[in-house]
Amino acid sequence: MVADTYGMSKLRRTPVYSLLSTESDLDESIHLFVIGLAEQVDLLQDDEQNSDFEGLEERAAVLAGHADRMGYPDLARVVQKVADSCSEEMKGAVQKGLVQVTEIARCIRLGHRGSA
């Protein structure tokens, strides 16, 4: 995949690790974030499926902030782009972004399981 509006040159196929994984005081918070990530992605997809751009924008913005605080800047950046696209109701950009969010989340879960 070539560079796109989400700033990623290609979808990742490798594990993604938190940039904060060496900070032991965040271990439990990172773990809980990653464990809940699949559900959060499902909720984003549900909002998109229901054309709830307002709900999707809000949920994506919250997830972007949480991803950034947990040391996942790539996820935060892509999810924020989804939120920004919602405010303009750019359905194609939202769908494309959600595909990338799903892929990054999968790689984060791979990295999390690999670090345990």
Supply the Cα-derived Rg of the chain in whole angstroms.
14
Instruction: Provide the pLDDT for residue 24.
Output: 77
Q: Count the alpha carbons within 13 Å of 18 in the hemisphere toward its beta carbon.
A: 25
Instruction: Provide the pLDDT for residue 114.
Output: 55
**Could you count the other beta carbons within 10 Å of the beta carbon of residue 30?**
21
User: pTM, whole model, 2 decimals?
Assistant: 0.84
Torsion angle, alpha carbons of 104, 109, 115, 116, to 10: 170
Instruction: Provide the pLDDT for residue 38.
Output: 95
Instruction: Provide the pLDDT for residue 9.
Output: 45
Tell me the pLDDT of the chain averaged across its residues.
87
In sequence order, what DSSP letters do the residues of 4-30 get, joined into one string? -TTS-SS---S----TTTT-GGGHHHH
| Selection from 100, 30, 28, 88 nearest residue 56 by Cα | 88
Phi and psi at 14, nearest 5°, equal: -115, 160
Q: Give pLDDT tens digits for 54-78.
A: 999 999 999 999 999 999 999 999 9
Q: Give pLDDT tens digits for 27-60.
A: 899 999 999 999 999 999 999 999 999 999 999 9
- 107: which DSSP letter? H
Instruction: Provide the pLDDT for residue 12.
Output: 52
Contact 98, 45 (CB under 8 A): yes
Higher pLDDT, 15 or 114: 15
Query: In this model, does residue 94 exceed pLDDT 80?
Result: yes
Name all domains of the chain by residue range, CATH numbers in brackets: 24-115 (1.20.120)
